[in-house]
Chains A and B, each alone.
Chain A
Amino acid sequence: MRVVIVGAGEVGSTVAASLAGDHEVIVIDLDSERVDTLTYSLDVLAVEGDGASVKTLREAGIDDADLLIACTDDDETNIVSCGTAKTISDAFTIARIRNTKFLDTWSQSEGALGIDLMVGTNLLAAQSIVRVIGLPGAEDVDRFADGLIQMAEFRITDETPVTGMSVAEADTFDSLTFAAIIRDEEVVIPSGDTCLRDGDDVVVIGSPESISDFARGIEPDTDGVSDVLIVGGNEIGLEVARLLGEKGTPNRLVEPDPERARYLAETLPKTTVLENDPTDQEFLLREHIGDVDVAIATLDSDERNLLSALLSKRLGAARSIAVVENGDYSDLFEAVGVDIAVNPREAIAEEITRFTREQHAENVAIIEHDRAEVIEVEVDSGSVLLDRPISQSIRDLPDGVVIGAIARDGTYVIPRGDTVIEENDHIVVFAAQEIVEETMEAI
C-alpha cells in the first residue's frame, strides 16, 4: 500500500515508522531539517513542501496513493490537506484533529470536508481516561462491538484479594475470559492453573457487567468514583471534564492561567474550575486532595504531568493518572508510582492501525504500550474460523491467540471449545504484538 503522511512531527514520524516496514511511505513536511532527518532515519521518501498544495501532493505521488494521513499539529492544515487530496485523487483520507468542534462538523455527514476518517486525538485520550476512571482498579479499558464487549487490564498487587489464586479460582464469572497475563514484561497466555502473582497485569475480555463485578473483586473498598480532580486545563483536561460532566461524575479542574480558567468555567457548567498553580502543595491540601478518588494530570508537558501525578499520589489521592505525550516514558511513569500513564498518540495509532491493516479491523486496543493488541474483527467467508468449532480452528492460528468474546446479532456469545463461529460474527481476539499480522491474515 502507498501511504502519504502529511506532517513529520512526533505523531507523523511514529506513524511513518510503524508503517514503513510493510508499506511504501511518503512523508511531506514544510521543515527541511525534519525532511532530511527522516530521509536517513527511516526507509521512507520525504518530500519538502506544503501538504495542502496540489503541487506538493502530486510530487508525493498522491495519484497512486491508497491512503493519506494528515497529522500535523494544526487542525486546519490537516483538514485542508485531506480535502485537497480528495479533490485530486481517490486516496482514503485520515485527519488527526485536536479540536472537538471539527469532529462535530465531520459527524454531520459521511465524508464531510473530504475526510474519510477523522481521528479526534484529544477526545480519544479523554475517552480512554474516563473509561479507566469508571472502572476501579483498571489500568486500561476499551469497548468493542458497540459496548457489548469490554476489555480491561488490571494490576494485581499483594493487596488484591485474588492474589495467589489460580485463574480457575479467580474466574467465577461466566462471560469473562482471562486473555493474558503480562508478567515481567512478558505476555503469558494463562491456563486454568496459572497462579496470579503480585505485580501481574491481567487482561480480561468479557461483558461489561462481568468486568465490573470482577473489578469490584479486585478493589472491594471502592464504592464508585465521586471526586475527580483534573490538574491542568489543556484540551484533554477539558474533554475529560466534559465527559465526566455528561456522566454526572462530580469533578474539579485546576488551571493556572486566568483567561483559560475563565474560558473553561464558561464551557464546562458542570465542573468546578479552580484558578491556581496546580503544583502548589498548600493549595492542593486546601482543596483536600487526600480525599480525591482520582487525580488526572493534563498539563502542558510530560515533566509537569509526572510531577503533578506524583504530588497528588503523595498527598493522598487514591489513584493518579498522567497524560504522557512521549510514548517512551509510559513505562517509566508507571514504574515510579503513577498508577496509569495515558498516551494520546496511542489512541491515534490504534485508529490508524485499524485502517492500514489489509483486512480492516473494527476496533483495536493497544495493550501495555504496544506489547499486544486486542482486536475486533468481523468474520467473513474467507476466514479459517468460519463454520468450525473453536477447538479445531484455533490450531490454524498462531500460538498465543486468545478468542475472548463473540458478538452475534447484538448478543454476547461465550466462546467455548465447541462454539461454532458463524459468518458476520464479531470476534474479539487477544494477540501478542509479534503475531498480530499473522493472526489477521488467518482470520
Chain B
Amino acid sequence: MSWRVDWQASVGLLGTGLKYLAVTMFVPLFVAVVYMEDIWVFALSIVLVTALGFALERVDTDPDIGPREALVFVSLAWLTAAVVGTIPYLLAGFGTSSTLADPVNALFESMSGFTTTGATVMGEISFEQHSHALLIWRQLTQWLGGMGIIVLMIAILPEVAVNGAQLMASEAPGPELQKLTPKIAETARVLWLIYFGFTLVYIAVMYGLHLSGFAPNMDLYNAVAHGFTTLPTGGFSPQAESIAYFSAAVQWAAIPFLVVAGVNFALFWHVLKGEFDVMLENAEFRAYTGAIAVTAALLSLLLVRGAAPPLDIGGVTGGATENTFRQAAFQIASLLNSTGYATSDFAQWDTHAQVFLLFVMFIGGSAGSTGGGVKVVRWLVVFKAIRRELYTTANPDVVKPVRLSGSVVDEDAVRGIAAFTLLYILLFGFSAVFISLDTARIGIELTTLEAVSASLATIGNIGPGFGRLGPFGNYLFFSDASKLLMTFLMWVGRLEIVPVLAVFISVFDRSQ
C-alpha cells in the first residue's frame, strides 16, 4: 500500500532534530554536576538520544519536505520528543519507588512537559525522591515545548528553514502563520529571542526579589526552574506546593509574566520596533487582556463573598483583603491561558467558583503565544460568525464579512476556525465520557467536574483540574488506557488537532 507521503524524508529530518535534543540534556547534566548528583542518568541519555538521532538521519540524508511530509514530520517530532524525553525518567526511576519508572507514566509526564500541559503523575514531588537534575529536565521540556521545538529547529538549522513556513504553520498556535520578516528562519529566531529575553527577565526579577529579601524561598535554582515554565505557559514546578511555596511578592511579580505568556509574541516584535499601536489596536490582544480583567474581577467578587474556605495552602478567608485579590488575579492569569500554576488549592473551593474557573479554562491564550486551548482569536471569530448568522437570518440579502482588527477574515478561515472549535469540543466531550467510563471500570467514580476537567486540562494543555486532579493532586490513579488517551489529547492539543488528524486522514482514509 502506498503511503502517499515520503515518510523517509520526515524520519530523516527527525533524526537531525533528535541530535539537537540530546544537546539540551547537557543542562540537567550540568545541574547534576553542580549538585554533585548522579551524572550517569543524563550522560547515558545523551549517548542514547544522539545514537538514535544519527541512526534515523541515515533513513534519508537529504530530506525533501512537502506539505504532507511537513504534517507527518511535525506530528512525529512531538511524539518522538515525548518518547525520548522519557529516557531520563526511566533511567533515574529504575529500581526506585518513583512512579516515573513505569513507561506509561513516564510518557504521560514527558508529553505533559513538552506540550506545556503541566499535568503530573509524579507521586511525590520532592528533592528527597528526585534529583535536582531530573526536576530541572522536567522544567526544561516545558521551556523547549513552549515556543515550539520545530520553531527552534527552523531558527538554527538551515536545512529545515527551507521548508520552514509549512512546518511552522503546522506547529504555531493559532489559525494562521504570521511572518514577521521575509525569511522564515529570521522570524523563528526573532520569536525565540523574545521568548528567551522574557525568560531571562523573569529569572532576574525572581532572583532579585530573593536577593533583596522579599522571596526567601526563591533561590537561583527555583528562579531558573520557574523561568523555564512560566513563559511557555507550562505550569510544572519542582515544588510540591507550586507557587504557593513562595512569598506574596513572588506571586504578584509572576502575574505580569503569566499574562505576557498568553500574548501573541509577534506583537512584542512590533513593540520592539516602536509600533505600539499594532499591539494596542490588535483585537485579540484587547479581548485577551479584557477577558483577564473581567474574569479576575468576577472571581475577586466570588472570593470576597467567601467562595473559598480557609485552607492549608493559599486559603482565602473572604472579605476584600490583599490575599483575596492576589488569589483571584493569580488563578485567572494562570488558568485562562493554560499555564496551570496555583497559589491556592482551588479544587477545594465552592463548586460555583470551580465551575467559573472551568469556564475560564475554555478561553485559552492568543494565537502566536505559548498558550493552549481554543485561543482567543478563534472565539472572537466564532462569536462574530454566529452574530452574522443571526443577523443574516433576519436580513437574508445582507452580505457581511467577518472583520477582525479592521481587516476581513477570509471565509475559508472562518470555516476552518468553526470546524476546529467544533472538533475541539467534540474531542473534549468524547474524551470526558471515555475517561469517566474507563475510570469507573477500575473501580473509581469520578465526579462530573473531575471527568470534565481531566479531558479539558489535557486537550487544552492546562494541567490541573478539579477534585483529585487539583493543582496539588495528580493524575496517577487513572488506568493506563485513560493515561494514554490523555497523552494523545495533550499531543493533538498542542499541535491544535489538525496536523495530527490530517495525517491520519490522508494516510488511512482511502475513500477521500
- Which residues of A from 262 to 299 have beta carbons under 8 Å from B? 262, 264-266, 269, 272-276, 283, 287
Which residues of the other chain, A, contact B395 by a CB distance below 8 angstroms?
Answer: 274
- The CA of A272 and the CA of B400, in the complex, are separated in Å by 8
- Which residues of B from 138 to 196 have beta carbons under 8 Å from A? none
Of B397, B406, B408, the residue contacting A283 (CB under 8 A) is: B397
Count A-B pairs with CB separation below 8 Å.
Answer: 29
- Shortest CB–CB separation between residue B388 and chain A, in angstroms? 11
- Which residues of A from 234 to 258 have beta carbons under 8 Å from B? 254-255, 258
A266→B408 contact, CB < 8 A = yes
- Shortest CB–CB separation between residue A216 and chain B, in angstroms? 34
| B399 within 8 Å of A (CB atoms) | yes
Which B residue sits closest to A286, measured CB to CB?
Answer: B397
Which residues of the other chain, B, contact A265 by a CB distance below 8 angstroms?
Answer: 399-401
Q: Which of B399, B403, B406, B408 has the most CB of A within 10 A?
A: B399
- Shortest CB–CB separation between residue B384 and chain A, in angstroms? 13
B398→A272 contact, CB < 8 A = yes
B397→A275 contact, CB < 8 A = yes
A262→B406 contact, CB < 8 A = no
Of A274, A283, A287, the residue contacting B399 (CB under 8 A) is: A274
- Shortest CB–CB separation between residue A260 and chain B, in angstroms? 10
B398→A274 contact, CB < 8 A = yes
- The CA of A274 and the CA of B400, in the complex, are separated in Å by 9
A261→B399 contact, CB < 8 A = yes
Of A262, A274, A276, the residue contacting B401 (CB under 8 A) is: A262
- Which residues of A from 150 to 209 have beta carbons under 8 Å from B? none
- The CA of A258 and the CA of B399, in the complex, are separated in Å by 9
- The CA of A258 and the CA of B406, in the complex, are separated in Å by 22
Which residues of the other chain, A, contact B401 by a CB distance below 8 angstroms?
Answer: 262, 265-266
Which A residue sits closest to B409, measured CB to CB?
Answer: A266
Which residues of the other chain, B, contact A258 by a CB distance below 8 angstroms?
Answer: 399
- The CA of A262 and the CA of B408, in the complex, are separated in Å by 11
Which residues of the other chain, A, contact B400 by a CB distance below 8 angstroms?
Answer: 265, 272-273
- The CA of A255 and the CA of B406, in the complex, are separated in Å by 23
- The CA of A357 and the CA of B398, in the complex, are separated in Å by 48
Which A residue sits closest to B406, measured CB to CB?
Answer: A269
Which B residue sits closest to A261, measured CB to CB?
Answer: B399
B398→A273 contact, CB < 8 A = yes
- Shortest CB–CB separation between residue A235 and chain B, in angstroms? 18
Which residues of the other chain, A, contact B403 by a CB distance below 8 angstroms?
Answer: 269
Of A264, A269, A276, the residue contacting B397 (CB under 8 A) is: A276
Q: Which of B395, B398, B403, B408 has the most CB of A within 10 A?
A: B398
Interface code A400-423, partner B: CB below 8 Å = 1, 0 otherwise? 000000000000000000000000
- The CA of A274 and the CA of B408, in the complex, are separated in Å by 17
- The CA of A344 and the CA of B400, in the complex, are separated in Å by 29
- Shortest CB–CB separation between residue A231 and chain B, in angstroms? 13
- The CA of A254 and the CA of B408, in the complex, are separated in Å by 20
- The CA of A275 and the CA of B400, in the complex, are separated in Å by 10
Question: How many chain-B residues does the 8 Å CB contact rule pick out?
Answer: 9
- The CA of A269 and the CA of B407, in the complex, are separated in Å by 9
Would you call the interface of chain B mostly helix, strand, loop, or mixed?
A: loop
Which residues of the other chain, A, contact B398 by a CB distance below 8 angstroms?
Answer: 272-275
- The CA of A76 and the CA of B408, in the complex, are separated in Å by 28
- The CA of A269 and the CA of B403, in the complex, are separated in Å by 9
Which residues of the other chain, B, contact A261 by a CB distance below 8 angstroms?
Answer: 399
Which residues of the other chain, B, contact A275 by a CB distance below 8 angstroms?
Answer: 397-399
- The CA of A3 and the CA of B500, in the complex, are separated in Å by 69
Which residues of the other chain, B, contact A276 by a CB distance below 8 angstroms?
Answer: 397
- Shortest CB–CB separation between residue A21 and chain B, in angstroms? 49
Which B residue sits closest to A277, measured CB to CB?
Answer: B397
- The CA of A182 and the CA of B403, in the complex, are separated in Å by 50
- The CA of A2 and the CA of B316, in the complex, are separated in Å by 90
Which residues of the other chain, B, contact A266 by a CB distance below 8 angstroms?
Answer: 401, 408
Which B residue sits closest to A280, measured CB to CB?
Answer: B397
B399→A273 contact, CB < 8 A = yes
Interface code B397-418, partner A: CB below 8 Å = 1, 0 otherwise? 1111101001010000000000
Which B residue sits closest to A258, measured CB to CB?
Answer: B399
Which residues of the other chain, B, contact A274 by a CB distance below 8 angstroms?
Answer: 395, 397-399
Q: Which of B395, B397, B406 has the most CB of A within 10 A?
A: B397
- Shortest CB–CB separation between residue A195 and chain B, in angstroms? 48
Interface code B378-407, partner A: CB below 8 Å = 1, 0 otherwise? 000000000000000001011111010010
- The CA of A258 and the CA of B398, in the complex, are separated in Å by 11
- Shortest CB–CB separation between residue B198 and chain A, in angstroms? 35
Which B residue sits closest to A260, measured CB to CB?
Answer: B399
- The CA of A255 and the CA of B403, in the complex, are separated in Å by 20
- Shortest CB–CB separation between residue B138 and chain A, in angstroms? 48
Q: Which of A254, A266, A269 has the most CB of B within 10 A?
A: A266
Which B residue sits closest to A267, measured CB to CB?
Answer: B408
- The CA of A271 and the CA of B103, in the complex, are separated in Å by 61
Which B residue sits closest to A255, measured CB to CB?
Answer: B399
- The CA of A261 and the CA of B411, in the complex, are separated in Å by 14
- Which residues of A from 317 to 348 have beta carbons under 8 Å from B? none
- The CA of A261 and the CA of B406, in the complex, are separated in Å by 18
- The CA of A319 and the CA of B444, in the complex, are separated in Å by 76
- Shortest CB–CB separation between residue B3 and chain A, in angstroms? 39
- The CA of A265 and the CA of B401, in the complex, are separated in Å by 6
- Shortest CB–CB separation between residue A230 and chain B, in angstroms? 14
Which B residue sits closest to A274, measured CB to CB?
Answer: B397
B399→A264 contact, CB < 8 A = yes
- Shortest CB–CB separation between residue A273 and chain B, in angstroms? 4
- The CA of A266 and the CA of B395, in the complex, are separated in Å by 18
Interface code A348-359, partner B: CB below 8 Å = 1, 0 otherwise? 000000000000
Interface code B63-95, partner A: CB below 8 Å = 1, 0 otherwise? 000000000000000000000000000000000
- Shortest CB–CB separation between residue A283 and chain B, in angstroms? 7
- The CA of A272 and the CA of B388, in the complex, are separated in Å by 12
- The CA of A285 and the CA of B403, in the complex, are separated in Å by 29
- Which residues of B from 404 to 436 have beta carbons under 8 Å from A? 406, 408
- Shortest CB–CB separation between residue A159 and chain B, in angstroms? 34
- Shortest CB–CB separation between residue B385 and chain A, in angstroms? 14
Which residues of the other chain, B, contact A283 by a CB distance below 8 angstroms?
Answer: 397
- Shortest CB–CB separation between residue B393 and chain A, in angstroms? 14
Which residues of the other chain, A, contact B399 by a CB distance below 8 angstroms?
Answer: 255, 258, 261-262, 264-265, 273-275
- The CA of A264 and the CA of B401, in the complex, are separated in Å by 10
- The CA of A254 and the CA of B403, in the complex, are separated in Å by 20
Which residues of the other chain, B, contact A254 by a CB distance below 8 angstroms?
Answer: 397
- Shortest CB–CB separation between residue B404 and chain A, in angstroms? 12
- The CA of A254 and the CA of B398, in the complex, are separated in Å by 9
- The CA of A287 and the CA of B397, in the complex, are separated in Å by 9
Which A residue sits closest to B407, measured CB to CB?
Answer: A266
- The CA of A125 and the CA of B403, in the complex, are separated in Å by 29
Which A residue sits closest to B391, measured CB to CB?
Answer: A272
- The CA of A266 and the CA of B400, in the complex, are separated in Å by 8
Which residues of the other chain, A, contact B408 by a CB distance below 8 angstroms?
Answer: 266
Which B residue sits closest to A265, measured CB to CB?
Answer: B399
- Which residues of B from 475 to 490 have beta carbons under 8 Å from A? none
Which residues of the other chain, B, contact A272 by a CB distance below 8 angstroms?
Answer: 398, 400
- Shortest CB–CB separation between residue A345 and chain B, in angstroms? 31
Which residues of the other chain, B, contact A255 by a CB distance below 8 angstroms?
Answer: 399
Interface code A34-49, partner B: CB below 8 Å = 1, 0 otherwise? 0000000000000000
- The CA of A283 and the CA of B396, in the complex, are separated in Å by 11
Which residues of the other chain, A, contact B406 by a CB distance below 8 angstroms?
Answer: 269
- Shortest CB–CB separation between residue B408 and chain A, in angstroms? 4
Q: Which of B395, B401, B406 has the most CB of A within 10 A?
A: B401
Leading 5 A-B pairs by shortest Cβ distance: A274-B397, A265-B399, A266-B408, A273-B399, A261-B399
Excluding A266-B408, A275-B399, A283-B397, 5 further A-B contacts by CB distance (< 8 Å) are: A265-B399, A273-B399, A275-B398, A276-B397, A287-B397
* 29 sample A-B contacts, Cβ–Cβ < 8 Å, listed by A number: A254-B397, A255-B399, A258-B399, A261-B399, A262-B399, A262-B401, A264-B399, A265-B399, A265-B400, A265-B401, A266-B401, A266-B408, A269-B403, A269-B406, A272-B398, A272-B400, A273-B398, A273-B399, A273-B400, A274-B395, A274-B397, A274-B398, A274-B399, A275-B397, A275-B398, A275-B399, A276-B397, A283-B397, A287-B397
